[in-house]
Structure 1
Amino acid sequence: MIQILDSTLREGEQTPGVYFAPEIKLAIAQFLDCIGIDIIEAGNPAVDREIAKAIAHIAKAGLKAKIGAHSLCRKDDVKKALECGVNFLGIFFSVSENRLQQDYDIGLEKAIEKIVEVITYAREQQENLLIRYTPEDTVRSPIENVIAAAIAAVKAGANIISIADTTGYTTPFVQNRSIAYYVKTLKEELAKQQLYPQIEIHCHNDRGLALANALDAYNAGADIIDVSVMGLGERSGIVDLAELLINLIDIVEEKSAWNLSQLKELYDFVSEHSHISISPHHPLLGKNAFTHYAGVHVNAVAKDERLYQSLNPELLGIKSSLALGMQSGYIAVKLALKQIGREELIENQDLVMNIFQEIKEIAKRGTPIDIEQELPTIVEHCIVNQRVTSEICSV
């Protein structure tokens, strides 16, 4: 069964301007646990003491998910992470030629020695610790460097090797540049050494392909996929949690235990505390995701929502809706009148037509018409106008 690692509290907090207070982090972790996330990456404790305290608090919260900390390839940083009481540790160190030369001034051999030393240290501290090694910027590093570092890391005690598309470089279906190529190649080369760690993937969205790459990696046999709420993260962020889950439920062979009905509340909560709005066109959870507007669409879904929906919004604990505006048809107005409890007006065709025309005029202002708040006022205005017109005509 594919596992999901949520990094909202680590990668997500690397979004410029985003800060989650410790109590907010705990609440987010509790949401994620309720949804059925396998691993919650709670942060890098070496960054700040408050982050360390928040990780420790989450680790002691009795959640079902494994709680993880992120760490540079340094013994001191690993020590700080383990002091938080986590049962998952992610250690990262690049094996890219440019990084090794420009940032560290060492060669691959020295880099592997450092990786082995730190992983060995972590394993000695905690026998049952899940250890992940990430060759940062995996997909732009020489594949032979990645393989050599991965083999050494697993032999030193790593359980998981993460393929990091740190800059959103990979592209599905392009030979030697797809993340599926890296998943398959790494699995094959490790198997030659009788090594079978789990393979994790971390896809950034710089080219808008994070979700596509994640599904490509799943198809290639990846074991763990990293996500965040709203796709938060460095630059363009990473794979969006909700988008991945809704796609996986249709293709995973095993029945998933994900509680998708909690996603809406989680997204609203993270949006509020990150001060980042959810786009109206966000798949699944945006305001327009299940909102029908054009006349032909509304006419069809009034009979059967499946005619213009491939997803059942009830999976997410929400319902379909309709919008009113320039593109609306006569049927939409009648449905909207039912929605606000004025169904008795539907038989008055002249009134409905007046309401219909009034809606089109108001729509020219360029903003949506709120059915619950604005339509009752429009209706009353049209009723008064019809009454006045009738009185004038009867004189």
Structure 2
Amino acid sequence: MIQILDSTLREGEQTPGVYFSPATKLAIAQFLDLVGVDIIEVGNPVVDREIALAITQIANAGLKAKIGAHCLCRIDDVNQALDCGVNFLGIFFSVSQQRLQQDYNIGLESAIEKIVEVITYARKQKDNLLIRYTPEDTVRSPLENVIEAAIAALKAGANIISIADTTGYTTPFHPIRSLYNYVKTLKEELAKQELYPQIEVHCHNDRGLALANALDAYRAGVNIIDVTVMGLGERAGIVDLAELLINLIDTVEEKHCWELSYLQELYDLVSKHSHISIFPHHPVIGKNAFTHYAGIHVNAVAKDEALYQSLNPEILGTKSSLALGIQSGYTAIELALQQIGRSELIKDKELVANILFKIKEIAKRGTPINIEKELPAIVESCAITKMITK
């Protein structure tokens, strides 16, 4: 069964300008738990006292999800994370030759010794701790380095190896540089050593391919996929939670337990506290995701929504809607009149035509029209004009 790791509270807070207070983090974590994510990665306690406090509060909140901390490959950092009461620990250290030389001034052998030391220590502290080892920038590191480090990490006590596409480098269209190939190869190489860990992917969206790469990894048999709400994160962010779930529900063969009806409230909460608006055209969650506008579309969905809609909004706890503007036709006006409780006016074709004309004139000014708030006034204006002209 595929597992979802949400990193809104860690990776998401690496979005420039985004800060979540401990109270806000707890509220977000509670919603993530209601949605049904498996692991909530809260942050690195070494970064700030408030992050440590948030991790501790969430770890003690009685949530179903596993609560994780993220830390550098250092024993002091591990201790601070474990002091927060987490049951998931992410340890990262690069095995890229360039990073090892430029950042740490050590070779691969020394790096692996450090990885083994820290993971061995963490394992001794807590038997049931889930430990993830991540070779930073996995997909651009020499594959032989990644394999050697992964084998050592697993033998030291790690349960999970994360393939980090730290710079959004992979693409499902490349014969070699795809996560499908990477996941398959890594699993095969580890199996030769009789090692069968969970494999995780962390896909950045620098080329706009994070979701595609994550689904490519799923096709290869990956076990855990990292996401954030709104796709928040460093630079262009990572895989968006709602977009991944809406694609997986039609793909996974196993019965899923995700409660998508909580997504809208979750996204509104994160949007409010991150001070980042949800783009109207955001798939699944944006206000236009189930809004129909063009005349031919509205005319069709009035008969059957499936004619211009492949998703059922009811699973998200919402409904389809329509918009009025220059693209509207008679059917849109008739449906809008029903929506505001003025269906008796539909028989008056001249009035409907006048309302449609008025709507189009307003739309040419670039002004959006709110059906509930503004259509009644437009209707009354057109009715008065009709009476005067008679």
Please state which band the TM-score falls in when normalised by the shorter chain. over 0.9
Structure 1 partner of 2:91: 91
Structure 2 partner of 1:73: 73
TM superposition shift of 1:368: 1.8
Alignment of 1:244-263 (within 5 A): 244-263=244-263
Rounded Cα–Cα distance in structure 2 between residues aligned with 1:232 and 1:55? 19
Give CA-to-partner distance per residue, 1:261-319, whole Å, 9 cap, x none: 10011111111111000000000110110000000000000000000000000010000
Rounded Cα–Cα distance in structure 1 between residues aligned with 2:55 and 2:205? 26
* Partner SS for 1:162: strand
Residue 138 of structure 1 aligns with an amino acid whose one-letter code is T
Structure 2 partner of 1:393: none
Residue 66 of structure 1 aligns with an amino acid whose one-letter code is K
Rounded Cα–Cα distance in structure 2 between residues aligned with 1:316 and 1:260? 5
Give CA-to-partner distance per residue, 1:173-201, whole Å, 9 cap, x none: 31220011111111011110011110000
Which structure 1 segments of 5+ residues have no match? 391-395
* Partner SS for 2:9: coil
1:313 aligns with 2:313: yes
* Partner SS for 1:4: strand
Rounded Cα–Cα distance in structure 2 between residues aligned with 1:382 and 1:104? 74
Rounded Cα–Cα distance in structure 1 between residues aligned with 2:82 and 2:123? 11
Rounded Cα–Cα distance in structure 1 between residues aligned with 2:222 and 2:258? 19
TM superposition shift of 1:43: 0.7
* Partner SS for 2:150: helix
Structure 2 partner of 1:232: 232
Rounded Cα–Cα distance in structure 2 between residues aligned with 1:99 and 1:346? 70
1:52 aligns with 2:15: no
Residue 41 of structure 1 aligns with an amino acid whose one-letter code is E
Structure 1 partner of 2:354: 354
Structure 1 partner of 2:202: 202
Structure 1 partner of 2:286: 286
Residue 153 of structure 1 aligns with an amino acid whose one-letter code is A
Rounded Cα–Cα distance in structure 2 between residues aligned with 1:273 and 1:6? 17
TM superposition shift of 1:367: 2.9
TM superposition shift of 1:389: 1.1
Give CA-to-partner distance per residue, 1:153-186, whole Å, 9 cap, x none: 0000000000000000000031220011111111
Rounded Cα–Cα distance in structure 1 between residues aligned with 2:259 and 2:240? 16
TM-score, length-scaled by structure 2? 0.99
Structure 1 partner of 2:367: 367
Structure 1 partner of 2:120: 120
Rounded Cα–Cα distance in structure 2 between residues aligned with 1:289 and 1:88? 35
* Partner SS for 2:161: strand
Rounded Cα–Cα distance in structure 2 between residues aligned with 1:74 and 1:179? 29
* Partner SS for 1:185: helix
Which structure 2 segments of 5+ residues have no match? none
Give CA-to-partner distance per residue, 1:95-116, whole Å, 9 cap, x none: 0111001000001000000000
Rounded Cα–Cα distance in structure 2 between residues aligned with 1:376 and 1:370? 10
Rounded Cα–Cα distance in structure 1 between residues aligned with 2:340 and 2:206? 43
Rounded Cα–Cα distance in structure 2 between residues aligned with 1:215 and 1:368? 36
Structure 1 partner of 2:171: 171
* Partner SS for 1:365: coil
Rounded Cα–Cα distance in structure 2 between residues aligned with 1:382 and 1:327? 19
Rounded Cα–Cα distance in structure 2 between residues aligned with 1:317 and 1:129? 36
Residue 277 of structure 1 aligns with an amino acid whose one-letter code is S
Which aligned runs of 4 or more in structure 1 are off by greater than 6 angstroms? none
Structure 2 partner of 1:23: 23
* Partner SS for 1:42: strand
* Partner SS for 1:251: coil
Structure 2 partner of 1:134: 134
Give CA-to-partner distance per residue, 1:36-71, whole Å, 9 cap, x none: 110000111010011000000000000000000000
1:322 aligns with 2:330: no
TM superposition shift of 1:373: 1.0
Rounded Cα–Cα distance in structure 1 between residues aligned with 2:46 and 2:188? 35
* Partner SS for 1:62: coil
Rounded Cα–Cα distance in structure 2 between residues aligned with 1:178 and 1:250? 23
Residue 372 of structure 2 aligns with an amino acid whose one-letter code is E
Rounded Cα–Cα distance in structure 2 between residues aligned with 1:389 and 1:285? 45
Rounded Cα–Cα distance in structure 2 between residues aligned with 1:175 and 1:115? 31
1:242 aligns with 2:249: no
Rounded Cα–Cα distance in structure 2 between residues aligned with 1:184 and 1:192? 13
Aligned residues: 390
Identity, % of aligned pairs? 79
Query: 365-374 or 159-168, which moves further after superposition?
Result: 365-374
Rounded Cα–Cα distance in structure 2 between residues aligned with 1:290 and 1:340? 19
1:389 aligns with 2:359: no
